[in-house]
């Protein structure tokens, strides 16, 4: 009963497509079986809303008169990259304010722009014959900018670690506050709703896929940084550890602060919650089988963040259903859990993407190029060596 991308897009165009969220599809498959669900449903929508540090925006300010070639740039006192053309910049979400530290950073500037607020732009330059101005101090809004688009080098991590802490002190991490002596466990995935957990071998998600990025229609631009398809997988072929990632692109002007939220992690730094949603066509029963997986089927690996090394010791795996129950067992001890990624937001994203497809005829795009597949080489470490050793 295979369906083609063309058939599914034709059904979207005519308004006849049957679209369910991944949670709804899992429930349907549990009731009617995978085969019947695969036959009935055309598209399954996914969603995730977690902190994604490798995110940021490309901005073009337009030229002042006389013009300036901006080399040192700040937005609301947050430094932005000056190594591009005269009035282009890249602002990363983790950049911190020179005045307010981690309480305000690149992510907060982006959220302010999305909320329509004016942002103070200051820049300086040595001055050149073609760009004589040496300083500028002005205010800009999102509407004023010529181009403003997300280019996020790593979003939508396929699975993530469960963090615990065996030391005697509180740890402040990007997975939140970890209490001493296995006092808690935090985890960060939308589980059954997570985009790449629903297409574990990147059959339908690839370069050129049309997706939801922070409320805007966007695209998968490339494999994400640290994309690592070559990792441990369960009997369904789903990674049990952090694996694939996506680099994504989308118009900031079409995005919404509902689906992009700045974050300050005490003792760690600035990040941003980014909403990502990916539609997955139900091409055949194989893909339907992974779309039907629930939080009870999907697992994550528990790591000791008390060991401050690249490779942290593991305490084995646990299911997302277990994590969501609020308490898991680690090393014979009952440990309360807390998520980092928002499930209500992930659900809202999957529902909004479903509405786009069903009501606004948002069409799917097959990958123009596949992401590196399982079996491809994994990520490489960074060795510390001297010039002489090269």
Partner 1 sequence: MARKRLDLTFPPRQSLKPVIYHLVKDYDLVPNILRAQIHPAQEGRMVLEVTGSKEAFQAGVAFLEGQGLTVNEAASDIVLDEDRCVDCGLCTAVCKPDALTLDPVTQRLTFDKDKCVYCEACVIACPRRAITLTF
For residue 288, CA distances in Å to 19, 161, 203, 364 come to 13, 26, 12, 17
Report cis status (omega within 30 of 0) of the bond before 66. Answer: yes
Tokens 């940021």 -> residue: 56
Shorter beta-carbon distance to partner 1: residue 68 or 178 = 178
Tokens 């960060």 -> residue: 188
Stretch that binds partner 1, among 79-87, 223-231, 245-253, 331-339 (CB under 8 A): 331-339
The pairing of strands 185-187 and 210-213 is unpaired
Q: Which of 336, 359, 360, 368 binds partner 1 (CB under 8 A)?
A: 336
| Integer Cα distance of 100 and 309 in angstroms | 30
- Closest distance to partner 1 from the beta carbon of 240 (Å): 22
Number of residues that bind partner 1 (CB under 8 A): 31
Stretch that binds partner 1, among 23-31, 46-54, 55-63, 76-84 (CB under 8 A): 46-54
| Integer Cα distance of 78 and 154 in angstroms | 21
Hey, how many other C-beta atoms are within 10 angstroms of the C-beta on 221?
18
**Rule CB under 8 A: is residue 48 a binding residue for partner 1?**
no
- Closest distance to partner 1 from the beta carbon of 342 (Å): 5
Shorter beta-carbon distance to partner 1: residue 1 or 327 = 327
Residues 164-193 that bind partner 1 (CB under 8 A): 176-177, 179, 184-186
For residue 44, CA distances in Å to 195, 239, 319, 321 come to 10, 20, 22, 21
**Rule CB under 8 A: is residue 209 a binding residue for partner 1?**
no
**Rule CB under 8 A: is residue 290 a binding residue for partner 1?**
no
Stretch that binds partner 1, among 60-68, 83-91, 209-217, 264-272 (CB under 8 A): 264-272
Residues 78-137 that bind partner 1 (CB under 8 A): 103
- Closest distance to partner 1 from the beta carbon of 118 (Å): 20
Closest CA to 47 of 388, 389, 348: 348
> What would the two tokens of residue 288 be?
């339907």
- Closest distance to partner 1 from the beta carbon of 339 (Å): 4
- Closest distance to partner 1 from the beta carbon of 274 (Å): 11
The CA-to-CA distance between both ends of the chain, in Å, stands at 56
Q: Is 53 among the catalytic positions?
A: no
**Rule CB under 8 A: is residue 303 a binding residue for partner 1?**
no
- Closest distance to partner 1 from the beta carbon of 223 (Å): 27
Shorter beta-carbon distance to partner 1: residue 223 or 295 = 295
Hey, how many other C-beta atoms are within 10 angstroms of the C-beta on 72?
13
Instruction: State whether residue 139 is helix, strand or coil.
Output: strand
H helix runs in the chain, sequence order = 5-13, 22-32, 34-40, 106-114, 195-198, 285-291, 320-324, 343-359
Q: Which residues bind partner 1 (CB under 8 A)?
A: 49-51, 103, 176-177, 179, 184-186, 261-266, 271, 273, 324, 326, 336-345, 347
Query: Active-site positions?
Result: 130
């Amino acid at each position: 009963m295979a369906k083609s991308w063309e058939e599914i897009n034709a059904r979207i165009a005519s308004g006849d497509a049957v679209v369910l969220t991944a949670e709804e599809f899992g429930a349907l498959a549990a009731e009617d079986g995978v085969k019947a669900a695969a036959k009935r449903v055309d598209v399954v929508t996914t969603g995730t809303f977690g902190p994604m540090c490798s995110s940021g925006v490309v901005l073009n300010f337009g030229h002042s008169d006389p013009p300036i070639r901006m080399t040192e740039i700040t937005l609301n006192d947050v430094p932005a990259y000056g190594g591009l053309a005269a009035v282009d910049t890249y602002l990363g979400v983790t950049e911190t304010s020179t005045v307010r530290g981690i309480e305000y950073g690149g992510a907060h500037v982006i959220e302010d722009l999305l909320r329509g607020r004016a942002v103070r732009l200051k820049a300086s330059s040595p001055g050149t014959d073609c760009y004589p101005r040496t300083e500028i101090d002005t205010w800009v809004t999102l509407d004023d900018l010529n181009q403003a688009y997300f280019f996020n080098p790593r979003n939508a991590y396929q699975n993530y670690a469960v963090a615990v802490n065996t030391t005697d002190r509180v740890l402040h991490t990007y997975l939140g506050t970890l209490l001493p002596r296995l006092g808690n466990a935090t985890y960060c995935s939308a589980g059954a709703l997570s985009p790449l957990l629903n297409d574990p071998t990147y059959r339908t998600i690839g370069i050129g896929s049309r997706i939801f990025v922070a409320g805007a229609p966007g695209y998968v631009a490339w494999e994400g940084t640290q994309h690592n398809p070559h990792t441990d997988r369960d009997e369904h072929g789903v990674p049990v550890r952090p694996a694939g990632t996506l680099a994504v692109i989308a118009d900031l002007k079409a995005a919404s602060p509902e689906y992009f939220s700045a974050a300050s992690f005490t003792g760690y730094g600035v990040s941003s919650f980014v909403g990502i949603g990916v539609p997955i066509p139900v091409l055949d029963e194989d893909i339907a089988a992974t779309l039907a997986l629930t939080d009870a089927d999907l697992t994550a690996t528990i790591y000791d963040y008390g060991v401050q090394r690249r490779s942290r010791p593991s305490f084995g795996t646990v299911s997302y259903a277990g994590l969501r129950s609020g308490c898991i067992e680690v090393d014979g001890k009952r440990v309360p859990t807390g998520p980092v990624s928002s499930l209500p937001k992930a659900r809202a994203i999957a529902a909004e993407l479903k509405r786009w497809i069903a009501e606004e005829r948002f069409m799917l795009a097959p990958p123009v190029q596949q992401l590196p597949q399982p079996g491809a080489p994994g990520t490489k470490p960074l060795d510390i060596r001297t010039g002489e050793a090269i």
